[in-house]
Amino acid sequence: MPLRHVRTLAAVVSAACLALTATATAHGAGRGAAPEPKALGSNWYAAAPYLMPLDNDPPDAGAVMNATGLKAFQLAFILAPNSGGCTATWDGTSPVSSDTAVAGVISAIRAKGGDVSASIGGYGGTKLGQSCGTPEATAAAYQQAIDKYGLKALDFDLEEPEYENTAAIHNEIGAAKILQQKNPGIYLSITTAGTADGTGWFGKQMLNEAKSQSFTPDNFSIMPFDGGFNGAASQTAALTNFNGILRSTFGWDEATAYAHEGISQMNGRSDTGEYFTQADFQKVLDFATAHHLARFTNWSVNRDRQCSPPDNNGKTSGTCSSVPQGAYDFTAYSVKFAGAASTTARPSIPGGTSGELHAAR
């Protein structure tokens, strides 16, 4: 999704302001490290919508929390350095090791009782699975971010062009398994492209890689947009089909597959001109809660505000939705999902994950 890496002048100015804020709010943590989070139920990590903290004119996270009751954000994206190498950066340009700007955002969120997950990959840029030679090296790069920010959750956003690279996907899945073992209780999601059939050839190849490595994350999520979708009915049909893929790949029954399945939506107008309104989000939410899906998220909080004019002259934006809306209308559905998921029991998988979504991490 190209809009995931749109930079605007406002974003650059905002990033500079965030750096100053972070310096003032680090509270002596050292090198911009964010404080440890309070215990959050994993239902909040399952509901966390994406937020680009340095790009696409990021809104104030605290204001979003105040307006909606949201407690968790999915910060995007951790990538390899644009100049090459196997160390974690934000957007390929800002080293995690010396970061203060994102640490300041995390500190502000945690000060209000919330937390964050970090998202790895996305569309565009060089992924660590591509630049690091082994699963072990890839995991070590991600561990930098886990240690720096005290992360309790990570999202592996595996899509074009990385998921067409067999070696890179082997490294990413292998790294996720290593991190799961090294960081007990960490919440891990795997996000990939959605199609009308559920997911495409490369998505199925990724699932088979996970099976071959005996790796089970908290969820496998699809993105049913930018692929000829038309409203909620097409998205729930894709989720139903993806459930069948999970069942056939891992040998799960229907309930177990849904309990490890999720959706990542795009609010408003998508890159390819599809439209998803508040009514569509409500219908998908109804499906998700009825089938006890493991995750319900969207791209993105940066876009969860009305354009001027509201339809943005028929264009897609990285900073507004291109549909009529109130501020943070779409984020409100994540809050509803977190509430519905807070007591949802998950079927046990021998040797895999189990438990209840409300269990504190």
**Which residues form the catalytic set?**
159
Residues in the chain: 361
3-state per-residue secondary structure call for 248-274: HHHCCCHHHHHCCEEEEEECEECCCCC
Measure Cα distances from 117 to 101, 142, 145, 154 in Å.
16, 12, 11, 5
Measure Cα distances from 308 to 14, 272, 321, 322, 325 in Å.
20, 20, 10, 8, 11
Q: How far apart are CA 106 and CA 187, in angstroms?
A: 17
Please answer whether residues 139 and 175 qualify as being in contact, where contact means their C-beta atoms are separated by less than 8 angstroms.
yes
Measure Cα distances from 4 to 66, 77, 172 in Å.
25, 9, 20
Query: Pairing relation of β-strands 261-266 and 268-269?
Result: unpaired
Instruction: State the DSSP H helix or E strand holding residue 297, giving kind and residue range, or none if neither.
Output: strand 295-299
